[in-house]
Amino acid sequence: MTSLSVSRRTILAGAAIAGALTQVRSAAAGAAAGAEAVLTPAAPDVASLPRVKVKLVDPPFVHDHEPVASTGPRVVEFEMTIIEKKITLDDSGAEYWASTFNGTVPGPLMVVHEGDYVELTLINDAANELMHNIDFHSATGALGGGALTQVNPGEKCVLRFKATKPGVFVYHCAPPGMVAWHVVSGMNGAIMVLPRDGLKDRAGKPVTYDKVFYIGEQDFYVPRDEEGRWKTYASPGESYEDVVTVMKTLTPTHVVFNGAVGALTGDNAMKAKVGETVAFVHSQANRDTRPHLIGGHGNHVWATGKFRNPPEEGLETWFIPGGTAGLMVYTFEQPGVYAYVNHNLIEAFELGAAAHVVVEGEWNDDLMMQVVAPAAAV
């Protein structure tokens, strides 16, 4: 196993987090006195709730779910395996050791309803090098679950929390002293907690959708050698010191959607039809972003992703702060190729934060038409 070179600042930051972890574990263990292998005792009614196992799917797609709950609260079971893998970021040869949930950047989108219990089995693959955990921004207590989910390679754990706040939320790895490195290594995703009666517009009327796409925006920091060539490494640990040096410049080498430049363009473009209503979940675990749909609009936008707040309507661009997930809902009115971008256009067109939505259907001349085609000016 590769040894890591860790700075004093990192050690101190890790010590602060570790101190919090110790207190959390002690409190949880005290609450669970008399229980074996379970830190937090179940509420009296959890054991009687129905259970459903959900198979997660790779982004930008999302597992089947009900926009409006047809039953009462349930225990929703998920399983994710942590995989450390080398990924290619673009066609220039830039490679990166990614730490991933289920092998993808971002990790899968989970969907539950307010009042459900999320029960996650988290597995750290035995072939991995590093310890990992998970911090759910949607969860209450224990550093979002990070204090109760530290798993070494070859270990697994089970975490359960009640989804009490409706919205879309980021989750990410947060190991003591190395939070930033793990997050910018791709180890983040999102969870959507829907109101049991579904989404509502500003007037309280239902907001429905036909499909959901999940876009995870990721900043990467790839080191270069003295001649400007991308550096490569044999393991995540070997890359650590050089990557952190680039990270501290606060200048990413890549800002991409779903793990690579062009990951959501061409054959991998998202697809829709005229008249379809599409929900776009967009997360950025580290940096601010400004999504914009070129040729369309945000009909209903929860930019900070919290459904107890009324959505904004008819937006051209919306602002998602770093460490947040947002939701935009749009009904496509014209066919064609739409560009979905971070409207920091340098990041979109020079660093990679761009995607395509290919929409089929009939053109509406009333909305737009070419009155005179380009020709020589006379």
Question: What are the catalytic residues?
Answer: 132, 135, 137, 172-173, 182, 187, 292, 316-317, 343
Q: Which residues pair with 52 in a beta bridge?
A: 76
Q: Which of 103, 97, 50, 95 is nearest to 73 (CA)?
A: 50
How far apart CA 373 and CA 42 sit, in angstroms, is 68
User: Which residues are registered as beta bridge partners of 87?
Assistant: 96
For residue 239, give both structure tokens. 């890359």
Q: Say if strands 312-315 and 298-302 run parallel, antiparallel, or are unpaired.
A: antiparallel
In 134-246 the beta strands, taken as DSSP E runs, fall at 135-136, 156-162, 167-172, 188-194, 199-200, 206-207, 211-220
Under 8 Å between Cβ of 290 and 328: no
Cβ–Cβ contacts within 10 Å for residue 316, how many?
11
Report the distance separating Cα 111 and Cα 64, nearest Å: 9
Dist CA 34 CA 310 (whole Å): 45
Give SS3 for 82: strand
